[in-house]
Structure formats: C-alpha cells, structure tokens
Amino acid sequence: MTALELAQCQLGSQIQLARGEHLFQMGAEADGELYFVRSGHLKIYQPCDDGVQRIIDFTRPGDWLGVDTIGEQYRHASAHALTDCQVDVVQYRHLAELMDEEPYSCDLFSAMLSREIDRQQLAAAILRSAGACQRIVMFLLQRAGPAPQAPMLETHAPLPMSRQDISDYLGLTPATVSRTLSSLKRNGWISLGQRGFVVQSRPALERLAAGAPLAIAPQAA
Amino acid sequence: MTALELAQCQLGSQIQLARGEHLFQMGAEADGELYFVRSGHLKIYQPCDDGVQRIIDFTRPGDWLGVDTIGEQYRHASAHALTDCQVDVVQYRHLAELMDEEPYSCDLFSAMLSREIDRQQLAAAILRSAGACQRIVMFLLQRAGPAPQAPMLETHAPLPMSRQDISDYLGLTPATVSRTLSSLKRNGWISLGQRGFVVQSRPALERLAAGAPLAIAPQAA
DNA sequence: CGGGCCCTTGATATGAGTCAAGGGTGGTGG
DNA sequence: CCACCACCCTTGACTCATATCAAGGGCCCG
C-alpha cells in the first residue's frame, strides 16, 4: 500500500473538488483512470430511472475509486463530492507499467483489489442478515474507525451525507434511520451533531452490532 | 480471459471434488492459491457462530474462487461442493510470474478482479432495493443465463442448492422462497424440477425483475 | 419398506415502510 | 444584518411485507 501511495504520488495529477461537484458520472468514458482520495468524502451512486439514486458506497480518505471499471469502457456509477475533496488521478496504464518494473507492486495492487472484493462481500452479508438497528450501528462503527487508545476519549466522526443517502446505502428508509439514531441518542450511546456524531459508549454499540435488541426508549444503560 | 484460461491450463493442478466435500474451509491457510471452476457448482459461505451459515456466493463453471483472499493469510469463507466438481488450482505466485512475462496478462487479471468487484456491488444493490419476489426472479434469471437463440426453446437450468441456501443468499427465509417459487409456477412463468427449473416465460420474469407486482394466485398469463 | 430431512403451505406476529405533519437549519435576497 | 424560504430531519399513526411458528407431505437414502 505504501508503494501504491508512492506510485500515485509520482504518476498522478491532482484535482480539487468542491462540495456538490462530480468526479465522474455514470456512462462517462472511464479512460482507464483510477482515483485515490486524499481528503474529503464522496458518495458513489447510480442514478436510477425514476430519479431515485441507489447509493453504492461512501468513500473515506485513503480509498480508491473506479476500481470496478478496470478494463471497462464506461463508468458504472457516478461519484459525487459530499465535501470539498482532494483526489489524485492515476492512469491504470501507468500502474501497469510500474507493475512491469517493480516486482512487488503487482502484488500490492492485486491485494488492494482483493480487499475491495472482500469489503463488498462483507457489506452484502450485512444487508442479508442484519436488521435495521444492527445495520445502522455497524455503519456508525465503521465510520467512527477503530477504537481510540484512550477509551474515554471518543472522537467526533464526520457524517457528511444526508439521511436519505444513509438509508439508501443501508437498504432502509430515512424515517427508520432517523428513528434509530434518535433511540441511540436517547439511550446515551451516541450524540449527534450537525454533520457528525460522537460514540459515547462503544461497548453498547458493539453489543447491538452483535445482535442485542434495542429497547425503544428506556432510560437505563 | 482466454489468456487466463490458458494460463491456468499450464500452471495449475486439477482436483476432483465429490458432492458435499469442501474445497477449503474458513480460517484455513490460503497459501496464495486461487481456484478456477471447470465444472460443477459450489457454495461459498461463512459458518456463523450460532450454527447458521451465511451464504456469500454460488459459483458456476468458469468462475474463479479465492480472489477475495489475495495477499491474506487465511480464508475468509468456506467453499463447499454442491455437486461433483472439477477445479483447477492456480498459485497466485505463478500468475504473478506470468504477469511479469506476458505484457497483457496483468490487464486481464486486473479486469477479472474488477469485474468481480462490480458483480458484488450489483448483488449488494439488489439486496438494498428489491423485495422478495424481485430478488428471487433476478436470481433465477441469473442462473438461467442469457436468453437462448430460439425464444421458444427454454433450457433447463440447474438449482443444486437447498431452499435454505437460496433464502440465505437472498436475505430471505426458506418459507418465502418456497411460496414465491410456487406462485411463479402457478402462474406458468416457470416449472420446477428436482434440482432445476425451466423458464417458461422470460418476458414475464423480466417484468417482475423490473418491479412489476406479483399477483397471488390468478390463473391468467 | 422405513425413517429422516427438506420442501410446502397455513395462520399469526412483528419489524420496517408509508403517509403525513411539524420543526429546525442553512442559504438567499432584501 | 436580518428575515424569509426551502429543504431536510424528526416524529406519530397506520399498513403491509416478510418472518415466525407449526403441521403435513414427498423425496431420497439406508
């Protein structure tokens, strides 16, 4: 991964995206371009026929984009900036050349694609088996990242997408997402800010993610 | 793809699996082995804690297995033969060497992984947005493959997995799957055999897959 | 021929969706 | 700088699809 980062340091040009701009649109020429997100958040979605959009994924800094379109001519989805973003553009052709020269870069790239497959399989598994509350809590824990060193000090995690986007991504409705978040807040597990949240009891959330039921509105912890 | 097939022709050893055998188990050493299914059907699943198993995927002849574990030490899932199978074993290391020598083989491999990512994204999108009937019909259409040349001649498609497996894969219950299949049969869209089915009205199924509602038990076509 | 397992089917329960109204927040224009 | 407006978020009541529970039947295997 380090090598890959270095790779795109040298090979890629950089673009700035303002909130609301598109990195690419579904159906556009892919041109063998991959993207590496340096900062900011994007959503990947397919504009569905009836105006509704199907959210495929949200990116975080350090993610790659466009890896589902290697060897394909046209983009399968659109990428929309939820915040201002810095994105590196990397030609797949350049990576391929690098892979010819550097012996291990090919392994790194394959491993990256492989991890992406695994990530998608995990997401699908969650959609198959988990209920609304479980999905939402898992989503929050993913966004919050790994537990901080000092257990008392929980960090503020950004949540730059709309409830509609979240619900679409999780296969739910905005109403259900809102209700569940409110419940979590009422119980004191999390607190909600404008465009972010804070985990206040990671153990409780992990219990919920593991399948524990969520009481509707009791005060107890 | 042709090149990849050729590749594993020369590089891989072949194994025979009898129905019920495992190709590999979750947690086993991956050893950088990939698999190419020549014939037969397998299911990929994760043995969940409570004995229930989470179906990740079903393979068909021509599919690759283990591509989610490149660069990982241990398997993330188990592969179980639903029928007798012929599987080619390919060392990732050998593929990597091939990629160093043959200029385009690297592109083919990347494209294969990329398609796999896309496949998983599509599966997740279906789980997010489609109801029970839609999921089942899409599943059947996938299994049936592309429409045959002679529209009248619909072929018999195998369905070697149990209802439990299907329902788990689609995020439903065996009861719902059974009910829906019965409805489809009653309406004359499909016919069901022991371990397979026949599409009798592909247009009707495609309407359903596109979102048309399924009447409960009318006789009309 | 007998037994177990899976599939089918019915009745009922429940989680999530739908519809709808009210409130907060951010953005825009005066 | 303030006020208005639009959009999104929240919350409630109700509906509906799908899960659950349970019983009966058929197929395959021993």
Give whole-number Cα distances, A66 to A25, A93, A139, in Å: 11, 14, 22
Query: What's the whole-model pTM score?
Result: 0.93
Strand A190-192, strand A196-199: pairing: antiparallel
Is A36 within 8 Å of A8 (Cβ atoms)? yes
CA distance A128 to chain B (A): 4
Question: Quick check: B109 contacting A, CB < 8 Å?
Answer: yes
What are the Cα distances from residue A25, in Å, to A17, A86, A133, B101?
14, 17, 32, 36
Q: Collapse the DSSP code of A61 into the 3-class scheme (helix H, G, I; strand E, B; otherwise coil) and give the result.
A: coil
CATH of the domain at B81: 2.60.120.10
Last residue of a domain, one of B127, B155, B175: B127
Residues B64 and B123 in one domain: yes
What angle, 0 to 180 degrees and rounded to 10, lies between the N-to-C axes of helices B163-170 and B132-144? Answer: 110
Cα A160 to Cα A169: distance, rounded to the nearest angstrom: 14
- Indicate whether A89 and A147 sit together in one domain: no
Are A111 and A139 part of one and the same domain? Answer: no
Of B96, B116, B125, nearest to A107 by CB-CB distance is B96
Same domain, yes or no, for B136 and B111? no
What confidence tier does A199 reach under pLDDT thresholds 50, 70, 90? very high
Average pLDDT over residues A135-140: 98
Boundary (domain end) residue, out of A79, A99, A127: A127
What does the block give as tokens for A60?
Answer: 């975080």
pLDDT for B153 equals 75
Q: Could A96 and B76 be called an inter-chain contact, meaning their C-beta atoms sit closer than 8 Å?
A: no
Full DSSP string of A69-109:
-TT-SB-SSEEEESS-EEEEEEEHHHHHHHHHHSTTHHHHH
A28 lies in which domain range? 2-127
pLDDT band per the 50, 70, 90 thresholds, residue A219: very low
The confidence band for A86, taking pLDDT boundaries of 50, 70 and 90, is very high
Confidence of residue A217 (pLDDT cuts 50, 70, 90): very low
**For residue B8, what pLDDT is reported?**
65
Q: Between A68, A113, A128, which is nearest B121 by CB?
A: A68
Confidence of residue A88 (pLDDT cuts 50, 70, 90): very high
What tokens appear for B208 in the block?
């359903």
Could you give the maximum distance between any two Cα atoms of chain B, in Å?
A: 62
Whether residue B114 and residue A76 make contact (CB cut-off 8 A), yes or no, is: no
Length of chain A: 221
Closest CA–CA distance from residue A169 to any residue of chain B (Å):
7
Task: Tell me the mean pLDDT in the region A11-31.
Answer: 92
- Domain identity same for B41 and B8: yes
* Residue B203 contacts residue B186 (beta carbons within 8 Å): no
Q: pLDDT (tens digit, 0 to 9) for every residue of chain B, 221 residues total? A: 566 666 666 667 899 999 999 999 999 999 999 999 999 999 999 998 777 899 999 999 999 999 999 999 999 999 999 999 999 999 999 888 888 888 788 899 999 999 999 999 999 999 999 999 999 999 999 999 987 887 777 789 999 999 999 999 999 999 999 999 999 999 999 999 989 999 999 999 999 999 888 875 443 32
Taking the CA of residue B152 and the nearest CA in chain A, the distance in Å comes to 30
SS (H, E, C) chain B: CHHHHHHHHHHCEEEEECCCCEEECCCCECCCEEEEEEECCEEEEEECCCCCEEEEEECCCCCEECCCCCCCCECCCEEEECCCEEEEEEEHHHHHHHHHHCCCHHHHHHHHHHHHHHHHHHHHHHHHHCCHHHHHHHHHHHHHCCCCCCCCCCCEEECCCCHHHHHHHHCCCHHHHHHHHHHHHHCCCEEECCCEEEECCHHHHHHHHCCCCCCCCCCCC
Which domain-ending residue is among B127, B149, B169?
B127
Whether A215 is covered by a domain: the verdict is: no
Domain assignment present for B62: yes
- In a domain? residue A97: yes
pLDDT recorded at residue A221 = 30
Residue A221 lies in a domain: no
* Pairing relationship of beta strands B22-24 and B78-81 according to DSSP bridges: antiparallel
| 3-class DSSP state of A131 | coil
Which helix (H) or strand (E) segment holds residue A164: the answer is helix A163-170
**Among A90-99, A130-139, A208-217, B111-120, where is mean pLDDT lowest?**
A208-217
- A195 CA → D9 C1’, Å: 12
A148 and A103 within one domain: no
- The rounded distance, in Å, linking the Cα atoms of B60 and B152 is 25
Yes or no, beta carbons of A107 and B121 under 8 Å apart: no
CB–CB of A121 and B72 under 8 A?
Answer: no
Domain count, chain B: 2
The answer to whether B47 and B75 are in contact (CB under 8 A) is no
Question: Do A31 and A63 have their domain in common?
Answer: yes
Cβ contact A129 with chain D strand, < 7 A: no
Q: Is residue B220 part of a domain?
A: no
pLDDT at A7 over 70: no
Q: Are residues A93 and A8 in the same domain?
A: yes
A26 touches chain B (CB under 8 A): no
- Closest residue of chain A to B53, computed from CA coordinates: A129
Check B117 against A116: CB less than 8 A apart.
yes
- Choose the closest CB to A127 out of B103, B116, B127: B127
Establish if A217 belongs to a structural domain. Answer: no
Taking the C1' atom of D11, which residue's CA lies nearest?
A: A179
- Do A100 and A168 lie in a common domain? no
> Protein B146 CA to nucleic acid D21 C1', in Å?
39
pLDDT for the residue numbered B216? 55
Q: Do both B122 and B143 map to the same domain? A: no
Same domain, yes or no: B136 and B174: yes
Same domain? For B26 and B117 the reply is yes
Q: Could you tell me the distance in Å between the CA of residue B164 and the C1' of nucleotide D19?
A: 14
Using CA atoms of B137, B143, B148, B154 in order, give the dihedral in degrees to the nearest 10. -70
